[in-house]
Amino acid sequence: MRVALVKSFSFEAAHWLPSFPDGHKCRRLHGHSFRADVVVEGEVPADSCYLVDYGDIKRATEPIERELDHTCLNEIAGLENPTSEMIAKWIWDRLAPVLPLLHEIVVHETCASRCHYKGARG
């Protein structure tokens, strides 16, 4: 049986988007209540009846959540241009080494706007 599990975490953060044109509202400093969904996918082993312990996903995401929460994202190495796309890749790059079944990162910037990222695996 193939399944996908999703574990979410949230963080409050400010940013500005230097790649946007002068005068664009996102070029100014502003904040969001971000949510990130971490999706792992694979075949459930018959001997365990579960794919991954949600607690293992949480332990992997906690340091990332602490690093992002209540910060100015532009001040974090690798997030100097913190678009949703770049945030999703940044999270992927940190989780892929510790979550072998990582399938997708979804960054929700607002209730209606989100980015899906499926990074390349070796």
Known catalytic residue: 62?
A: no
Known catalytic residue: 116?
A: no
Known catalytic residue: 109?
A: yes
Token pair 């009846």 is found at 49
Tell me which of 43, 70, 85, 116 is the catalytic residue: 70
Alpha helices in 8-116 (DSSP H): 54-68, 84-95
Three-state DSSP state, 95 = helix
Tell me which of 26, 72, 103, 115 is the catalytic residue: 26
Q: Could you tell me which residues are beta bridge partners of residue 72?
A: 14
Residues annotated as catalytic are 26, 70, 109
